[in-house]
Amino acid sequence: MFATFLFHENFSLLIEVIGTIAFAMSGAFAAMQYKLDPFGVLIIAFATAVGGGTIRDLLLGAPVFWMHDMLICTVIFVTAIFSMIFRSVEKKYKNTLFIFDSIGLGLFTIIGVQKGLEFGHHPVICLTLGTITGCFGGVLRDILINRIPLLLRKEIYATACIIGGTAFIIMTYIPGFSSQLVQISTILIIILIRSIAVKYRLHIPKFYLN
Amino acid sequence: MFATFLFHENFSLLIEVIGTIAFAMSGAFAAMQYKLDPFGVLIIAFATAVGGGTIRDLLLGAPVFWMHDMLICTVIFVTAIFSMIFRSVEKKYKNTLFIFDSIGLGLFTIIGVQKGLEFGHHPVICLTLGTITGCFGGVLRDILINRIPLLLRKEIYATACIIGGTAFIIMTYIPGFSSQLVQISTILIIILIRSIAVKYRLHIPKFYLN
Amino acid sequence: MFATFLFHENFSLLIEVIGTIAFAMSGAFAAMQYKLDPFGVLIIAFATAVGGGTIRDLLLGAPVFWMHDMLICTVIFVTAIFSMIFRSVEKKYKNTLFIFDSIGLGLFTIIGVQKGLEFGHHPVICLTLGTITGCFGGVLRDILINRIPLLLRKEIYATACIIGGTAFIIMTYIPGFSSQLVQISTILIIILIRSIAVKYRLHIPKFYLN
């Protein structure tokens, strides 16, 4: 009982930390690509990691998560420093980083959908919240370094969130699935969609172009 | 009495729906112009349609309107799909779309001013809120597709909101005018200002350039 | 006692007004540089002056400051008009404007840190809030006129906020220092850092570039 509670709490926390590391890395590497100074790298890493969750909490009228959580701030700071020290990681481990970015996207989408459900919102609203939570950090990062948001250019980025989030909501309502199983399945779905999309250079056909 | 209440409620709802359709169209067409995939078109349409009202509600400390209203989300979704299916609408009906965009601008400005007054704010604050509600959706759209906000380039865009919003506030305080008359007059004023400005290519003189 | 209270209140108000003037000027001059019309200049001046404080209040869950303060709106409006009328000020008084911008940066950083402490947040969170309050107005200004945020390009901009904010927090916990002494010292530190950085073209070394 209490052990199960601890397991649930720790699993949610682990998800949040891994997602934060993933997006902080994504922001740090983008900032270094644009040759920003170390404080600029820290700022972009921070904005990317907390952007989605901040918008989500403002929309829900909830306390903004990172303002009450020194762990998140510490994780971001350490990740940014690590990213700068081990800059070469980006080139040698391009696949690992891509997996990490997709994990972050999936994790933050799940957290967003989940929080919306906890607040009693309609599933479609929760899906929107999850997509916003997953994508907005990257959008903020791209706005700050002044490039077209990757969200709108990358192969099937937001689509992966929407499909994954829908799967999450459906699985949540199925009695047999434990919450960890639902979360892990959703993350795997999103990673799979992103991987297939990037490998086969898939795009949603722009059927409106006659 | 109850019938009058229903009429007032429905009129306000109609205004909100038409404004939402107008801005969702504006966002969808801009996204298609920039060759985004259908999910990108949906995202931009959504951001443009809810951006202004979301900022307004956050500033007022009110619940964010679209999160409690499935009608708005549905209207945006249907409008985006329609815009993509009938892409050719944009070229054949350029004038109609311009009128629609001006209607949206006027409607959202009114809604913003009105909500500010309901919350008991100073008329000048309400004017600012109205201008933000009218303009910010378009600003968000332009930020996301990475172009200079049309707000700052188009002929007399925000100015139309400010003049219209001022007229709205003045007429609201005149005892004889019903609220529907005030709303319709304001919309007409804003459409008129925008039409004259575009037709005669009017600009506010930049008197500061010596 | 009451006189001391009046002095404290007035000093805080003076800080807020000077900071607002500084950032409104900064926004107005940037807008004129990009040849926006007078309403565009007003909008950018307003966004730059209230941007940081608005984000800070939203994150804290506090009422948004400018919506309850006609003085701030009036100060911004008058400053924007003055900036347009006396456009030549920018060229003849470049040093004065730079000092003003650094004063604004320092003042808004202080206000942000202070408000965070009043709300009982952890000092590191307050430091983050102070940096956001100081820098975000300028970021918003740059996003609207579609240029890379100066925050990320200027010599030691956010760094000055972080160092100044840290000094502010440390001095606040030292019993002997009055709050005015702490505030003035912090402003001087930030102005000093910015001046040295610009004069000697200092940059934080990008140690991550191998």
- Is the confidence at residue A72, as pLDDT, over 90? yes
Residues of A in contact with B73 (CB under 8 A): 124-125, 128
The answer, for A64 touching chain B at a CB cutoff of 8 Å, is no
Provide the shortest C-alpha distance from residue B83 to chain C (in Å): 27
The answer, for B67 touching chain A at a CB cutoff of 8 Å, is yes
A32 contacts C158? CB cut-off 8 A: no
What is the residue-wise DSSP string for chain B? -HHHHHHHHHHHHHHHHHHHHHHHHHHHHHHHHTT--HHHHHHHHHHHHHHHHHHHHHHHTPPPGGGG-HHHHHHHHHHHHHHHHTTTHHHHTHHHHHHHHHHHHHHHHHHHHHHHHHTT--HHHHHHHHHHHHHHHHHHHHHHTTS--GGGTSTTHHHHHHHHHHHHHHHHHSTT--HHHHHHHHHHHHHHHHHHHHHTT-----TT--
Backbone angles phi, psi at A162, to 5 degrees: -65, -45
Structural contact between residues A24 and A45, judged by C-beta atoms closer than 8 angstroms: yes
Structural contact between residues A107 and A19, judged by C-beta atoms closer than 8 angstroms: yes
In a 3-state reduction of DSSP, which class is residue A102? helix
The answer, for A7 touching chain C at a CB cutoff of 8 Å, is no
A152 contacts B36? CB cut-off 8 A: yes
The answer, for C12 touching chain A at a CB cutoff of 8 Å, is no
A84 contacts C207? CB cut-off 8 A: yes
Of all residues in chain A, the one with the smallest CA distance to C163 is A39
* pLDDT, position C115: 93
User: Alpha helix locations (H) across chain A?
Assistant: 2-33, 38-60, 70-85, 89-92, 94-118, 123-144, 158-172, 179-199
The answer, for A59 touching chain C at a CB cutoff of 8 Å, is no
B84 contacts A208? CB cut-off 8 A: yes
Residues of C in contact with A40 (CB under 8 A): 151-152, 158
Q: Which long-range contacts (CB under 8 A, 24 or more apart) does A5-12 make?
A: A8/A179, A8/A180, A11/A180, A11/A183, A12/A111
- Of C133, C202, C136, C203, which is closest to residue C168 (Cα–Cα)? C133
Of all residues in chain C, the one with the smallest CA distance to B162 is C39
- Which residues have a Cβ under 8 Å from the Cβ of A129 and sit 6 or more positions away? A56, A59, A60, A112, A113, A115, A116, A121, B67
Q: Which of C122, C149, C203 sits opposite A144 (nearest CB)?
A: C149
* pLDDT, position B210: 58
pLDDT tens for each residue of B150-189: 777 666 678 888 899 999 999 988 888 888 888 888 888 9
Q: Which of B41, B43, B87 sits opposite A210 (nearest CB)?
A: B87
For C86-96, b/e burial (b = at least 16 CB within 10 A) is: ebeebeeeeee
The answer, for A84 touching chain C at a CB cutoff of 8 Å, is yes
If pLDDT is split at 50, 70 and 90, which confidence band does C63 have? very high
Of all residues in chain A, the one with the smallest CA distance to C141 is A144
- Is the confidence at residue B51, as pLDDT, over 90? yes
If pLDDT is split at 50, 70 and 90, which confidence band does B207 have? confident
The answer, for C196 touching chain B at a CB cutoff of 8 Å, is no
Name the neighbours of C, counting chains with at least 3 Cβ pairs within 8 A. A, B
pLDDT tens for each residue of A161-194: 889 999 999 998 888 888 888 888 888 898 888 8
A85 contacts C125? CB cut-off 8 A: no
Provide the shortest C-alpha distance from residue C135 to chain B (in Å): 19
Q: Please, what is the end-to-end C-alpha distance for chain C in angstroms?
A: 59
Angle at B14 (CA atoms; ends B8, B20), nearest 5 degrees? 140
pLDDT tens for each residue of A109-125: 999 999 999 999 999 99
If pLDDT is split at 50, 70 and 90, which confidence band does C89 have? low
Provide the shortest C-alpha distance from residue B107 to chain A (in Å): 23
Of all residues in chain C, the one with the smallest CA distance to A86 is C208
Structural contact between residues B130 and B116, judged by C-beta atoms closer than 8 angstroms: yes
- Which pair of structure tokens corresponds to residue A48? 């990317």
Q: Does the model's ipTM exceed the 0.90 cut?
A: no
pLDDT tens for each residue of B90-120: 677 667 667 777 888 888 999 999 999 999 9
* pLDDT, position B48: 93
* pLDDT, position B135: 87
B208 contacts C41? CB cut-off 8 A: yes
Residues of C in contact with A39 (CB under 8 A): 156, 158-159, 162, 204
- What's the mean per-residue pLDDT of chain A? 85
Of all residues in chain A, the one with the smallest CA distance to C59 is A64
Angle at B113 (CA atoms; ends B109, B117), nearest 5 degrees? 170
The answer, for C60 touching chain B at a CB cutoff of 8 Å, is no
Residues of C in contact with B59 (CB under 8 A): 54, 64, 67
Of all residues in chain A, the one with the smallest CA distance to B36 is A152
**Among B152, B157, B202, B210, which would you mutate to test the C interface (most chain C Cβ atoms within 10 Å of its Cβ)?**
B152
